[in-house]
Structure 1
């Protein structure tokens, strides 16, 4: 029997895109490989060509999402800052922009409460936090102990801001000016 005609060829990236949306909106435990396959118009067996199981698929999503976030933070570090903004403010703004432009990525990276899944994201979260802390230290010129406290509170505040707006359905285009004010307010505490 011929394979059912589908709109697009099944690729690893296409599987990941659909799975990310399903995991973020319906929860990891409620989404099966069979369901992902149905959403794509393929049998679930065809997904196993790309991923050995759902856990491997989730792990690949987390790794891919951190690569994207790190690229955005690097852009914030290397691009000239907008007028009236410091490099640290730009990096913080890029973090907010990532969370609001990619809400399903952010959900999977930072808002999954399933303890079995946290093991896939915690190592990446630690690397990201260490990098963020180093950037704060470099930008503020503070002592290491002060910087660790500053970085922790800045990170928590950014995370809270993003989470609030992700859950309200806002995107960065809607709240960009508010995000800039939030970042400037936070950086005043470093002075």
Structure 2
């Protein structure tokens, strides 16, 4: 009974938040359920009350993080008109903001190099990219010259945002610190999508 009380006191959310930072700092392979629990000041049994194994814990992290990002994206799309450039700009800025306000989340979602771990985020990552591509293509389909870019443009825009976020994370820059640069970057990318020169 005492063990169950301790497990309930140690919430799923707290485990996920602590483990996220540990995975980013130490890497997936160097951690065990026992080492995660020890860092938190609990026995590993308290973790097993919520997660059967380390892989399940990692997958829960990835799923929660992508659900948070997708929720924000759906909210923006629901409040704006599909096919409008302003919608794409807001979506891109929100993505950059998410990455820089949640660097540990972002690293686990998009910067994990281990092929074995990448499989845990494949479905969620595809959903995120598909949603973004839908917005980009809604803009391009209104243009007569868009056929050759309908598939390449979403990926190019995403990679440009990813580079901006990765660079900023590497230098510990917050969103507030680079907000003006982020806005200019997004404007430049969106103007390029339409084939116009930024003034």
The normalised TM-score by structure 2 is 0.86
CA RMSD of aligned residues (A): 2.1
Runs of 4+ with >4 A deviation: 142-145
- Map of 2:190 onto structure 1: 187
Q: CA deviation at 1:17?
A: 0.5
* Cα offsets for 1:90-123 (capped at 9, x unmatched): 0000000010000000000000001110110122
- Map of 2:156 onto structure 1: 153
SS across alignment from 2:151: helix
Q: CA deviation at 1:75?
A: 2.9
Alpha-carbon distance between aligned partners in 1 of 2:74 and 2:89, rounded to the nearest angstrom = 13
SS across alignment from 1:29: coil
Task: Show structure 2 runs of 5+ residues with no match.
Answer: 195-199
- Map of 2:26 onto structure 1: 26
* Cα offsets for 1:43-85 (capped at 9, x unmatched): 011101100100000000000000011122123324469xxx7
1:1-191 to structure 2, matched below 5 A, reads: 9-79=9-79, 86-140=86-140, 141-142=142-143, 143=146, 145-191=148-194
Q: CA deviation at 1:145?
A: 4.5
SS across alignment from 2:31: coil
8 Å CA contact 1:37–1:43 kept in 2: the answer is yes
Are the structure 2 counterparts of residues 49 and 144 from structure 1 closer, same or farther at C-alpha, using a change threshold of 3 Å? Answer: farther
Are the structure 2 counterparts of residues 38 and 144 from structure 1 closer, same or farther at C-alpha, using a change threshold of 3 Å? Answer: farther
Report the count of equivalent residues: 185
Alpha-carbon distance between aligned partners in 2 of 1:80 and 1:117, rounded to the nearest angstrom = 35
8 Å CA contact 1:137–1:144 kept in 2: the answer is no
Are the structure 2 counterparts of residues 57 and 145 from structure 1 closer, same or farther at C-alpha, using a change threshold of 3 Å? Answer: farther
Are the structure 2 counterparts of residues 137 and 33 from structure 1 closer, same or farther at C-alpha, using a change threshold of 3 Å? Answer: same
Are the structure 2 counterparts of residues 163 and 80 from structure 1 closer, same or farther at C-alpha, using a change threshold of 3 Å? Answer: same
The normalised TM-score by structure 1 is 0.90
- Map of 2:197 onto structure 1: none
Alpha-carbon distance between aligned partners in 2 of 1:114 and 1:80, rounded to the nearest angstrom = 37
